[in-house]
Structure 1
Amino acid sequence: MNNVLLIDDEPIIVETTYNMLKRIEHLDLIVWKAHSAHEGLDIMRNNRIDILITDVRMPIMTGLELIKHVRKQWSRCKVIFLSGYSDYEYLQTALQHHAFDYLLKPVEDEKIVETVQRVIAEIDAELQMNDIMSQAETQLQKANYLLQKDFFEALFDGAPQSLDFITGELQSLHIPLEPNENVILMMGRVDRWPQHFPLKDKLLLQYAINNIVEEFLLEACRIVPVTDDRYLVWFIQHRTVEQSGDLYDIEEKRDPVRLQWYINELLEKIQHSVQQYLQLPVSFILSKPNVGWLHIHHAYKEMAEWMQRGIGLDEGIIWVEKAGDMLLQNGEQELLPKDIKRYINQLTNTLESGDKKEFNRTLADFIRITQKAVFLDFTLQMEIFAHLSAMYLSFINARKISRVIGGELDLTLLSNYNSFAHWSAFEDFCIRLSEALFSHTELEKRDQKKEIAEKVDAYIVKYINQNITLDQISKHFHLSPYYLSRLYHAEKGIPLSERMKLLKLTQAKELLLMEGKKIHEVALELGFYNVSYFGKFFKKNTGITPQEYKLNNT
């Protein structure tokens, strides 16, 4: 999906070109429009722009002046100039600014579409598979990061460390991050590896994924990649002010919320590139914008839990953490020895994520260790039993399924330690209980994506008269446009754009049959600022004009 910004000071050109591009569904575009360079810059500050179509001569700020600002915000943006002047000097200046094309007005719709198609082809071609894999091979041969890996894993595990110690490690290990600045964590997961995939090839493709991430983010960010047993993790900070562009003032450059927004705007592109060039589905989670070095462990744990849970389709997730999105457990007290608490956390995570095989393995290990601890106090055994019971009951109560599960198993056994003759009997009960919970969770996930699709339908109906876009809908539901489109299509069996079109047609038919309602009034109510485009839209999808429809049904 590519974002297109159209800028021209002639309203008729803006509206006709905007509506024409909106109708081209196969190009998968999100289209923005502006009537001046400054209005376009405002849009650009809050939205990623991949393709800019702009007039050359505009009042206050020309298209040639505008392109200088564009390069500082979105350096990969492709620019198409429109002009009513065939002046050689303008053409030469445009080429010096690396414009993709220079089109003379009036421009036929077909010419604009053909040019946009060529732009998209060039965008896709910029990341060539051979270059990515070649870079990955070089990195694999030079891999010498074991000490850095140990340092980051200690941060993830929550090993006691001071800020002075962290500062010393960053310096001695030549890690290009500042200890006096907070970080943003980005976690990535390959959702599905090909079957029987060699470990070496997995490592190679992990390097390739990192190359793609750096290709998009390195211009504005300092990035340090870390690979643990299950996830790809990136530590991210601002680049220095001297290395960044000057579209924003210094305070804005150092704003971590702004940096988080910038990364989020590019995640969909990163995800698409990994899928296109590596044929791997990936998910990403972006942490809060101000994670302190002494709280890395908590942020990592929370992100891993959300990655395990997922939503809906379970692939291609992009989730950006805001305040209150994730449950903080920083204040928990260490009631159990460290190894026992670790097992409790692992069991909770695998139960929440639906990983039945890993849950049963971890539970068997935990019970075996507990049984071997012959000097374990009786009261501590009771506490372990209570924590496991509470884990199950919390899971059941949070989902309000006590009546369903209670019909299969006697849940009162979880309230009495003496209900079980030995730990093996308790283990058997836990396995049967978790089996019932895993089965129910699978059904719950299916219902979840159905609920999201239903809410999208309700939102479209509510705002049908406001000419809403896919981008607006996706932002309302805090999901990327690409992911929301896939989720909706999988659930409803129809593309989201098609659903919006059908609802708009239904509304148009109802309004046209209202007594005294003029066709131009109907067009305006449905967000069509050009009556002729409304007529083309209606005829294309019904086979008759709005006037013919009124005559045939009155």
Structure 2
Amino acid sequence: MEEQLAFRLLLVDDEASVVDSLADTLPWEQIGIGAVFKAYSGVEALEILNTNTIDILITDIRMPGISGLELLQQVRRSWKRIKCILLSGHAEFAYAQQAITHETYDYLLKPISDEHILAKVSGAVQALKKELDEKSFHQRVARAFQENLPKLQGELLNELLEGRKYSAERLPEKLESLKIPVALGQRFALMLVRLEGKLSEMDFYSLSLMEYAVSNMVEELFEDRFRLWTCKTIHGYLVGVVTAIPERAGGPLIAEKQEEEEEESLSGLSGDGKALDEELQLKASQLQLSVNHYLSGDVSVLVSQWGLFPHDVRQRYEDLLLALRRQVGSQSGLFIHVACDIARQLPVHSLQRLYEPPMLIHLMESGSWEMAEQKLSGIWSELNQGWPDSPEHLMEVFFSIYASFSSFAHKNGRELAEMIGSGLSDMSGLLPSRSITALKSWIDEAFRLLRQSMENDTRNDREITVGKIRSYIEKNLVTDVTLQAIADHLFMHPVHVSRIFKLATGENVSDYVLRLKMELAASMLANPSLKSYEIALQLGYQNPNYFNKVFKKYYSLTPQEFRQKLEGGKEMK
């Protein structure tokens, strides 16, 4: 890991010669510094900090405008991991005290030798490497991951219950990383627990405690024969995936064989399979008794028939919800064993792709237009295959998608008719829902126009923002045109200002400012009455020598050489 690290250093001093000398003459790469940034004021330093990742900061204390200590205060607030070194010709102890207060890494006095400053920066590099040590980093991440593991496990189960699809490669990876002992193709049952009566009427905190207590009871009751993977669903129920623990008495190989035989028997629920199913039902009924006895409350418990993971997860959950609505209703303290696919036996089926995550509105809100298009394609395919002649299903799809489109338009401050046209947004005749062909045509065209409208809005907003940036720069070219000043004027973050300008123009803000200044400087040099230092001051360069350096770097000529060239051209004419 250390070989890949190349840290970034920022030098800040109002004496340009000090900054340039340190930046250009010392062998920084030998101590692990990959890039050196230069700033000649606290304002310039903040601009660089806002647009670049900086690891080590060396700053002078006494500077006009923002002092080194004031700069340090802002760095400590926004960039806590930066190692800061204060450089000054003043040895007063008060400065050192303030530096220590602001957690300065080190404090150096001018004049300072090259070896000394390299040694101090090298020490900061080593300190950063220690903080970024791979082992330590992974330990911190692993600890945080472990602390959030139950939450992450519950989120994955909720996604599967809602019908989210994962590839055969991706799901096993997630299961393993989240330490969930369920394999693809393994047989499982679902158990739903609904807290009722006074338990359901508790405040949020008390209810959370009761849910935690019930979950612990489930673990204790089931741990000797079953594994459970539980969560609280969006419907407010406790739901668990239940899988059987194979007998281990015969050793690993025999245990594997027993597990295979057990799963085979479950398919027909004969022999051991029936015994296991009966044991599951017994444990579930014992849970009701335990909740009543220890928590003085009631729960209804529903257990599904066995299925294959993850293929049957969504269907088993729908079976439990349907049984809860039909067989339990508002009653409490009931136990139901759902022994068949109730939902599949109904004469009318509900649409799945329309409501499974990720939802269409969420995909559009996140700007995932390709995924939204795939979502619409999946909805239409399911409708076309299962219910192409059902007026109600056609209207269900139409109203659901229309609602998503309308909500998206309104969240962007627009009427839907503005984005897709009055013809497509007119619901008076409900023409799109009269046939599957008409519905498909409406979906495709409305979606295309909605996407096109948003892309146009984004492009227009970007152009307007870039126009405001340019206008501000041109008006304030010789005063304050730092990135931070532009961002403050537009009420935007400096990083966003920088990125949106580069995206639209292909040019950095600083390069654009430099180009305008150099073009203005060139035009001013045509006036022989203006001295070079006067031009520098008028352009905002307090150090004429620095202006000369910048000008020569831009035009490959010093201001004086450039003026002589201009005068020579006039004489030739």
TM-score (norm 2): 0.45
TM-score, normalisation: structure 1: 0.46
